[in-house]
Structures are given as structure tokens and as C-alpha cells.
């Protein structure tokens, strides 16, 4: 093929058609201002409010991304959990696929407890229709620790299908 406004050069030096859309796509967040999490317990995050949901792929009734029928493929997903100030503890973000945990994103906080901490993570997954992804949180403060929500930037979960 040859170059045109509707083609691009791929890594293998062949031409391919340009275009496509990254749908389904979604972004959800925790609506509550703060939520207490029990120490040393994996707790499912309650991303209960949508910023957007193109393709009806996020289910706010059970706080999970579900691959719609006919939309299997590669997905980029991301999530964050913003924790209240805490000194010298581990804060974690754990993805679950179809009810089973895999991976672990964790930070160890500094010795001072004067800052909020955000645990971020991203995933690049090959998913089938009806597969679902949930995010769990864990900390080891020794007592309850609040997670910050209340807007669409503190504790979020989102993603989109990759154009192939």
C-alpha cells in the first residue's frame, strides 16, 4: 500500500488503515467523602459513581468493569486509591479478575503522617466477553484507615478497549 490520510505505517513497515474507536470506555469514582477500611483485610472498592460509561461496561451496583458481549480484546485499565495521612504503613491496590486476585500495587509510606497517599496502578489485559475486573484495597495501619473519595479525582477506576 501507499501513504494517505487514512493510513499509517506499522512497526513491520506495512501500511494499515487508520481509525477506530477506543470503546467501550469508562471512568468511575468513589462518591463518599471518606470510607473506613479495616486493617489487614482486602476490601472491595466501592467505585459507585460514573463520570462516563460509553458502552455500558461499568456496573455501579457491584462496582466492577464487565467486558460487554462482542467486545473481547485488549484493554488498558487504571485505578487509584487515595488514603488519609498515615505514618510508616503499607497501602495496597489489588486487581481481581473474575473473582480471583492477581498482582499487587503497594507503597510504603514515609515516617511522617502529614500527607495523603495515593496508590496508582494500571493493567494491560487480554479479556473475553463477560470477564470482569474489580479493585480491592488493603492497609496495615492496625486500626481503621479512611480512604478519600468525594470527587472524580481522588479514588478512581477507568479504562478503555485498545484499537487493534
- Any bridge partners for residue 81, and if so which? 119
Please state whether the peptide bond connecting residue 35 to the residue before it is cis, i.e. omega within 30 degrees of 0: no
Let me know: does 22 contact 158? Beta carbons within 8 Å.
Answer: no
Q: Note the pLDDT of residue 70.
A: 95
How many residues can be counted in the chain? 164
Label residue 43 exposed, middle or buried (CB < 10 Å: 0-12, 13-18, 19+): middle
**pLDDT 10s digits, 76-106:** 999 999 998 887 688 999 999 999 999 888 8
Q: Which residues contact 124 (CB under 8 A, 6 or more apart)?
A: 74, 75, 76, 77, 162
Mean pLDDT (10-residue bins), the chain, 164 residues: 65 74 93 90 95 96 96 96 85 95 85 79 96 95 89 94 88
Q: What pTM does this model have?
A: 0.86
Amino acid at each position: 500500500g501507499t501513504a494517505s490520510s487514512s493510513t499509517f505505517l506499522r512497526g513491520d513497515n506495512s501500511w494499515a488503515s487508520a481509525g477506530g474507536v477506543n470503546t467501550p470506555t469508562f471512568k468511575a469514582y468513589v462518591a463518599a467523602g471518606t470510607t473506613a477500611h479495616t486493617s489487614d483485610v482486602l476490601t472491595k472498592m466501592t467505585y459507585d459513581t460514573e463520570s462516563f460509561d460509553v458502552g455500558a461496561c461499568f456496573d455501579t451496583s457491584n462496582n466492577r468493569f464487565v467486558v460487554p458481549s462482542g467486545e473481547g480484546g485488549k484493554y488498558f485499565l487504571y485505578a487509584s486509591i487515595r488514603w488519609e495521612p498515615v505514618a510508616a504503613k503499607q497501602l495496597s491496590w489489588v486487581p481481581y479478575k473474575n473473582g480471583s486476585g492477581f498482582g499487587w500495587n503497594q507503597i510504603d509510606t514515609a515516617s511522617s503522617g502529614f500527607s495523603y497517599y495515593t496508590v496508582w496502578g494500571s493493567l494491560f489485559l487480554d479479556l473475553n466477553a463477560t470477564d470482569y475486573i474489580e479493585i480491592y484495597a488493603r492497609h496495615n495501619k492496625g486500626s481503621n484507615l479512611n480512604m478519600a473519595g468525594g470527587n472524580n479525582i481522588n479514588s478512581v477506576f477507568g479504562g478503555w478497549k485498545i484499537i487493534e
